[in-house]
Amino acid sequence: MPHHPMAHAAPPHYSWAMTLDRQQVLVVGGSSGIGLAVARASLEAGAHVTLVSRSEARLAQAAEGLGALGRVRTVALDITDEARTRALFEQLPVLHHVVVTAVDPYYQPIRQFDLARARRTLDSKLLAALHVARYARFDPTGSLTFVTGVASERPSPGGAAIAAVNGAVNALARALALELAPLRVNALSPGWVDTPMWDSTPGLDKSRAFESHARRLPVGRVGRPEEVAHAARFLMENGFTTGEVLHVDGGHRFV
C-alpha cells in the first residue's frame, strides 16, 4: 500500500469550542441564495469572507448587502476554469474553510437531453469540486463543504443530471475525507429552499409549487437559506465531523 504523506502526522490541535472568529472562509457561489446566507453567517461569527461567483455585478450587490467593511472580498471567476482557479488559490491566504454552493442546474427528460447543456451542470458541481480540492490551500484544522441536494436520493422526472451530480459529489466528499485528512470534508444536502434560483425557472409557478410541496413535507414548509447556512456553520465548526452527508431537507427524503 502506498504511504500516505499525512498518515502518521501529528493531529492538529483542536479546541473543544471551535469558532470562525478571525478565520478565512471562502464561499463559491456566494453572491446569492444559500452561498450568500453562508457568507452572512460566517461574517456574523467574526470570519473574513471571500465570495467567488461568475457575475461581478451580483458580487458587488452581495458585498454591499453584507457590509462588514474590510472583511469581505469578492472574486469574479468561473470555478470550472482550472487555470484561473489554480491562480486564485495561489494568491489567496491559507484558508480555514471553503464552502462550495455553486450549480448551473438543468432539468430535462433524458430522451430530450441536450448533452452539452447537461455537461455544464455536471461541470458546475463535480469539476468545480475537484478543482477546489486540488488547488485550495487549507489550514489543517479546517474544512471543505460541498452543497449537494436531496435529488441524489429523491430524484424527480427530468432531474437526471442534477441527481447524478449530487450523488457523485456526496461520494467525492467521503473519498476526500480520507485523502485530505486531517482536513475535514463533508457534503450538505438541502431539500427545497426558497432561493432566487426558483424565480428564474422557466414555466414554474413558484408560489403554487412551494405550497404543494410544503403540504408533503413533515415540517409543513420549504426551507430558508439561513437554515442551510446554520448547518454549514456546524460543519465548519465541529471538529469531529468528516465524511458526512448532512441532510437539511425538512423530511423530503421520506415522502
Q: Hey, what domains does the chain have and what are their CATH numbers? A: 24-250 (3.40.50.720)
pTM of the shown model: 0.91
Instruction: Give the pLDDT confidence of 74-133 residue by residue, as tens digits.
Output: 999 999 999 999 999 999 999 999 999 999 989 999 999 999 999 999 999 999 999 999
β pairing state of 48-53 and 95-100: unpaired
Report residue 202's pLDDT band, with 50, 70 and 90 as the boundaries: low
Tens digits of residue pLDDT in 29-51: 999 999 999 999 999 999 999 99
d(C-alpha 52, C-alpha 185), whole Å: 19
- Asked whether the predicted pLDDT for residue 8 surpasses 50, the reply is no
Q: Which residues pair with 25 in a beta bridge?
A: 49, 97
Grid-cell match 456553520, residue found: 233
First-last CA distance in the chain: 44
DSSP 8-state assignment for residue 193: B
